[in-house]
């Protein structure tokens, strides 16, 4: 996918075009919007904002490509995905540079994204062999006699898919979503994030370089004020059969309503308010480090971030001293993707302070326009925003639990249910707590922001619907069809 130097672009900066049916679309200078680096405080390039008409064109291209792509064998799709993973590896530095430029994430986080992202692509490629049908038992007639014939259940790709990836996890999450849909035999319209369209376009470029045919992956992006109409144009398209959205619960609710309007299924991974439960038999030093890191990774801008730390009362004083010491040694937790994002995280802390919360470490304090001081909050009241609102900043709230049951109750007291952690030196003890937590995944003795490519990932409650990763993700993008071969003998036929 070309990064076009266009005379029609603002400030003569390069432009990320719309990519439809294997080619860049003509650039209309009136449809451009700026992509800004929050750290550099400047526009680094421009991107073309899609219209409902161009979005429909992308859907038409994906629908045409689906007629042949759906016929490819799992082995063929696996080979192309593995080749794409190799190309992604070879272009890792370039991809990292653009993710850092567009989202202001640390180099370590960008490196993790591309390294882990290619692992996911390869795991999903391996799972293509697991797309299998079944042969149910023969039916019985009304008097109990065996009915002849044969029934088979086959798995088929669902069709054209709309994928809406986020700017946080700007490499790993779109790679996972694109790979799952491709592996299942679907074609795709990607609506890239308006905050990092160049990063997302590079990923599409790597898949096409691997040999994915033109029209199988199409990519558009839209400025925020255009997004609602563009998304509805895609969801309403008759060829589009599913939506995969990763983002905030607020936006997910709006997309869910549009999908309901057109009766389109949706796979959603939304926000979280991840709790880490620290039991009385936990390794306190190790646990403090994991809780602190889980709270501050990429400036806390992860749905899987550790937002709440729930500590057994018998170790509360000792643990919070260790935790505070660890958090105090973190000079900076990175930068927010935009100044507005940093302001939101700051405002949530101010609101907590005004409602009686206190700070074990930090507080509402800027290090720079886009970076906040790592913070631990305690004495939080239920009416404070931070009680159950994602901060998307480098902070966590700390609570006392009277016992295991109280810890479970406090952890489950959230609209979200994405990821949790339990810390204990006894796996049995940890499991007995984990099994009552209302979360899609529970990490034992690790950060909440942990995932495994070979296992399913899902949100429950307000954190989403459906599953991603490996064969579970492929099943999201395929349907089971029952094909019944009835006997030719009239004596065995049922008449309705």
pLDDT of residue 9: 59
Q: Cβ(422)–Cβ(433) under 8 Å?
A: yes
Which of 123, 205, 232, 269 is an active site residue?
Answer: 269
d(C-alpha 485, C-alpha 282), whole Å: 59
Q: What percent of the chain has a predicted confidence (pLDDT) above 90?
A: 90
d(C-alpha 171, C-alpha 195), whole Å: 13
pLDDT band at 107 (very low <50, low <70, confident <90, very high): very high
SS3 405: helix
- Token look-up 């006997």 returns 487
C-alpha pair distances (Å), 260 with each of 143, 231, 257, 416, 452:
43, 13, 5, 21, 31
Q: What confidence tens digit (pLDDT) does each residue in 362-372 have?
A: 999 999 999 99
pLDDT band at 486 (very low <50, low <70, confident <90, very high): confident
pLDDT band at 496 (very low <50, low <70, confident <90, very high): very low
Q: What confidence tens digit (pLDDT) does each residue in 281-294 have?
A: 999 999 999 999 99
Tell how strand 187-191 and strand 217-220 pair up: parallel
Mean pLDDT (the chain, rounded): 94
pLDDT band at 134 (very low <50, low <70, confident <90, very high): very high
Q: What confidence tens digit (pLDDT) does each residue in 43-59 have?
A: 999 999 999 999 999 99
Token couple for 119: 């692992």
Q: Cβ(1)–Cβ(201) under 8 Å?
A: yes
Q: Which residues have C-beta within 8 Å of that of residue 199, sequence separation ≥ 6?
A: 95, 98, 99, 102, 103, 170, 171
In 315-437, which ranges are continuous DSSP H helix? 316-328, 339-354, 404-412, 427-434
Which of 194, 303, 390, 476 is an active site residue?
Answer: 303
d(C-alpha 460, C-alpha 193), whole Å: 24
pLDDT of residue 106: 93
Q: What are phi and psi of 149, to 5 degrees?
A: 90, -165
Positions of CATH 3.40.605.10 in the chain: 4-270+464-479
Just give the CATH number of 274-444: 3.40.309.10
Q: What confidence tens digit (pLDDT) does each residue in 329-362 have?
A: 999 999 999 999 999 999 999 999 999 999 999 9
Token couple for 307: 């937002």
Q: Higher-confidence residue: 492 or 57?
A: 57
Q: Name which of 314, 325, 317 is nearest 291 in CA terms.
A: 325
C-alpha pair distances (Å), 263 with each of 236, 243, 259, 478:
9, 11, 6, 17
Positions of CATH 3.40.309.10 in the chain: 274-444
User: What single DSSP character describes residue 146?
Assistant: B
Q: What confidence tens digit (pLDDT) does each residue in 193-247 have?
A: 999 999 999 999 999 999 999 999 999 999 999 999 999 999 999 999 999 999 9
d(C-alpha 172, C-alpha 188), whole Å: 17
Q: Name which of 52, 180, 64 is nearest 128 in CA terms.
A: 180
Tell me whether residue 307 is one of the annotated catalytic residues: no
Mean predicted confidence (pLDDT) in 116-145 = 88
d(C-alpha 307, C-alpha 317), whole Å: 19
Tell me whether residue 194 is one of the annotated catalytic residues: no
Q: What confidence tens digit (pLDDT) does each residue in 466-475 have?
A: 999 999 999 9
SS3 476: helix
Specify which of 38-42, 147-151, 166-170, 261-265 reaches the highest per-range mean pLDDT: 261-265
Per-residue pLDDT for 255 more than 80? Answer: yes
For 4-270+464-479, the fitting CATH number among 3.40.605.10, 3.40.720.10, 3.40.1370.10, 1.10.287.110 is 3.40.605.10
What pTM value is reported for the model? 0.93
pLDDT of residue 146: 76
Range with the poorest average pLDDT among 120-124, 377-381, 486-490: 486-490
Per-residue pLDDT for 495 more than 50? Answer: no
């Amino acid at each position: 996918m070309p990064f076009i130097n266009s005379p029609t672009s603002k400030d003569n900066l390069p432009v990320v075009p719309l990519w439809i049916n294997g080619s860049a679309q003509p650039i209309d200078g009136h449809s451009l919007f700026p992509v800004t680096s929050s750290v550099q405080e400047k526009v680094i390039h421009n991107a073309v904002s899609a219209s409902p008409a161009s979005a429909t064109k992308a859907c038409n291209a994906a629908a045409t490509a689906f007629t042949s792509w759906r016929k490819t064998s799992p082995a063929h799709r696996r080979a192309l995905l593995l080749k794409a993973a190799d190309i992604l590896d070879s272009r890792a530095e370039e991809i990292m540079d653009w993710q850092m430029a567009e989202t202001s994430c640390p180099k370590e986080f960008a490196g993790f994204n591309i390294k882990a992202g290619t692992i996911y692509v390869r795991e999903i490629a391996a799972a293509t062999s697991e797309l299998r049908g079944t042969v149910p038992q023969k039916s019985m007639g009304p008097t109990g006699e065996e009915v002849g014939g044969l029934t088979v259940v086959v798995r088929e790709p669902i069709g054209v898919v709309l994928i809406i990836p986020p700017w946080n996890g700007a490499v790993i999450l779109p790679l996972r979503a694109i790979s799952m849909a491709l592996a299942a035999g679907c074609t795709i319209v990607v609506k890239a994030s308006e905050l990092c369209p160049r990063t997302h376009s590079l990923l599409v470029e790597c898949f096409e370089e691997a040999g994915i045919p033109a029209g199988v992956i199409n990519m558009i992006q839209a400025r925020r004020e255009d997004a609602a109409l563009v998304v509805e144009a895609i969801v309403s398209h008759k060829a589009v059969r599913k939506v995969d959205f990763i983002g905030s619960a607020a936006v997910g609710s709006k997309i869910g309503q549009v999908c309901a309007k057109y009766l389109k299924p949706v796979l959603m991974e939304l926000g979280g308010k991840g709790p880490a439960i620290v039991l009385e038999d936990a390794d306190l030093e190790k646990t403090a480090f994991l809780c602190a890191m889980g709270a501050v990774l990429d400036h806390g801008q992860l749905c899987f971030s550790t937002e709440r730390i729930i500590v057994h009362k018998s170790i509360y004083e000792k643990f919070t001293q260790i935790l505070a010491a660890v958090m105090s040694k973190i000079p900076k937790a990175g930068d927010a993707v935009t100044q507005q994002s940093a302001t939101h995280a700051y405002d949530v802390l101010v609101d907590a302070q005004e409602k009686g919360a206190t700070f074990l470490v930090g507080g509402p304090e800027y290090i720079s326009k886009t970076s906040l001081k790592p913070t631990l909050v305690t004495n939080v009241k239920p009416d404070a925003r931070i009680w159950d609102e994602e901060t998307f900043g480098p902070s966590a709230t700390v609570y006392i639990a009277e016992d295991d049951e109280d810890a479970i109750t406090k952890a489950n007291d959230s609209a979200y249910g994405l990821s949790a952690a339990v810390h204990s030196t006894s796996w049995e003890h940890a499991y007995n707590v984990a099994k009552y937590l209302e979360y899609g995944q529970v990490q034992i003795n690790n950060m909440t922001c942990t995932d495994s490519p070979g296992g399913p990932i899902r949100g429950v409650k307000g954190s989403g619907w459906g599953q991603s990763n490996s064969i579970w993700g492929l099943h999201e993008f395929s349907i089971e069809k029952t094909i019944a071969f009835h006997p030719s003998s009239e004596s065995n036929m049922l008449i309705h």
